[in-house]
Amino acid sequence: MSTFAWSENYSVHVQQFDAQHQKLFAIINELADAMRVGKGEDVIRDVVAQLAVYTRAHFLQEEVAMRQTGYPEFAAHQAQHTALMADVEKYKSDLDEGRKPNIIAVLNFLQQWLVNHIQKSDKKYSDHMNAHGVS
């Protein structure tokens, strides 16, 4: 049972990006589910690595769509993507070098960032994308 559940409230009304956001929820839930049974340390490195790869691909696809449709807030949105990737890459490099972050703090950060980014930033592009034929 996932603790971090996707709901229609998170929809940006772009099918491809909603599906990708759901995958991000699923990756984060892998960590939450493992923590629930005392296995968080066993999976955190793999989860953060998955998240780094998948998030980078997702952000690239969003940014391509924003450029193609002339999204007016592209630069600000891209800066948010860059900041999140820097945080995820920092967690990844810490784990790769044997430094163990506070797993609860990592999970809370990831959940809060994803929810806030979708709710406050991604939803802003919804109408723009739909108006330019991206749905």
In order, the DSSP letters of 15-33 are HHHHHHHHHHHHHHHHHHH
**CB 129, CB 135: distance < 8 Å:** yes
Domain boundaries, the chain: 15-131
pLDDT in single tens digits along all 135 residues of the chain: 457 788 999 999 999 999 999 999 999 999 999 999 999 999 999 999 999 999 999 999 999 999 999 999 999 999 999 999 999 999 999 999 999 888 999 999 888 888 888 988 999 999 999 999 999
The CATH number of the domain covering residues in 15-131: 1.20.120.50
Q: Are the beta carbons of 53 and 46 closer than 8 angstroms?
A: no
Query: CA nearest 126: which of 8, 12, 9, 7?
Result: 12
* pLDDT score recorded for residue 3: 73
pTM: 0.90
